[in-house]
Amino acid sequence: MSVDDSSQAGEAAAEATTDAGAQQSSGPYVSEDGATMGRDFVIPGVDPAEPDPYRFHTGRRRDHGGEDAIEIIDLVKQFGRARILNGLNLGLPEDQVSIVLGPSGTGKSVLVKHIVGLLYPDSGDVLVHGESIPNMTDDELFEVRKKFGLLFQDGALFGSMNIYDNTAFPLRQHTDKSEEEIGEIVNRRLKEVGLIEAIYKMPNELSGGMRKRAGFARALVLEPAIVMFDEPDSGLDPVRTALLCELVREVHAEHGGCYLVISHDLNTARRISDFIAVLWNGKIVESGPKEELFDSENQFVSQFLSADINGPLAMD
């Protein structure tokens, strides 16, 4: 075969490869576990015919300068045909305030439930201080949950208990401390969150912001290594949101630990976070220190963190 013939054959092979790649990329999206979107699962908010729902997901993990307290590895979770998490990877740093941002319905709360063992993954793993949460026995999981403090959207207070008893509840359930010791801890925590004058009030006598602060105090009484907040700014006006953010920063500065905040509020992200991860369509688009994420050149991250109407994220 002549040099020209060889060249022409090589060009033809390259064109065939390109055509095959184009045909493959224009077909239905196939996940890393071999499941085909539209046939085996759907991703909420994504057209089943979309060939590349993750074209903006670089998965870039910028160095946060510390050790990971929590590591999420290839996490997949599906409810019926709806795949909420689809190969999610994320490391959350020790002794920093992290925030997971993303559009509503993209899997943020489902992620938190996996971290504390309320949900089990279809595949993948969740490591807390190097220990696999899905592989724990019930007794082991009960013990490791003592590492966690949780603040839910509405505070999740017991309506039949006053604020003092709500805050004391974890200590009475999980420790052998005397009532005198419990009282000392409860009063200290309620003082930290500015509720020492309201300890005998019932939850229905408090404003939304006060209930959240009471929930924060309760989350801290066991001196957890990890504190997680699910939409702490939900239902609060801008001033009370700012005050709650300031409180979280102050308490973290004093006690340290891994704090994880789930939110979609950009002002909260700017005020509260050291580290940001952007979650969309069940995967992390990018993650890293706050300043670097707000300066990201990624098209989706830039649109979301600047609240721009132009970009890949649309109303549908």
What is the spatial distance between Cα 109 and Cα 147, in angstroms, rounded to a whole number? 19
What is the spatial distance between Cα 59 and Cα 261, in angstroms, rounded to a whole number? 20
Q: What is the pTM of this model?
A: 0.83
What is the spatial distance between Cα 169 and Cα 158, in angstroms, rounded to a whole number? 10
Answer yes or no: is 196 within a domain.
yes
Q: 295, 222, 273: which is closest to 92 by C-alpha?
A: 273
Answer yes or no: is 195 within a domain.
yes
Answer yes or no: is 274 within a domain.
yes
Answer yes or no: is 133 within a domain.
yes
Answer yes or no: is 37 within a domain.
no
Q: Point out which residues pair with 150 in neighbouring strands.
A: 228
Domain count for the chain, please give it: 1
* DSSP state for residue 130 in the 8-state scheme: T
Q: What pLDDT is attached to residue 15?
A: 42
CATH label of the domain that carries residue 246: 3.40.50.300
Parts of the chain with a pLDDT under 70: 1-26, 153-155, 235-236, 315-316
Q: What pLDDT is attached to residue 39?
A: 95
Contact 268, 245 (CB under 8 A): yes
What is the spatial distance between Cα 4 and Cα 15, in angstroms, rounded to a whole number? 16
138: left (phi over 0), alpha (psi -120 to 50) or beta: alpha
Which two three-digit tokens encode residue 190?
A: 């309620």
What is the spatial distance between Cα 309 and Cα 164, in angstroms, rounded to a whole number? 46
> Residue 221 is inside which H or E element, if any?
none
- Helical residues (DSSP H) of the chain, grouped into ranges: 3-26, 108-115, 138-144, 163-174, 179-192, 208-220, 238-255, 266-272, 290-294, 299-306
* Rg of the Cα atoms in the chain: 23
Answer yes or no: is 194 within a domain.
yes
Q: What is the pLDDT of residues 19-74, one digit of tens each?
A: 333 334 567 899 999 999 999 999 998 999 999 999 999 988 888 888 999 999 99
Contact 192, 252 (CB under 8 A): no
What is the spatial distance between Cα 262 and Cα 234, in angstroms, rounded to a whole number? 10
Answer yes or no: is 69 within a domain.
yes
Answer yes or no: is 33 within a domain.
no
What domain range includes position 251?
58-306
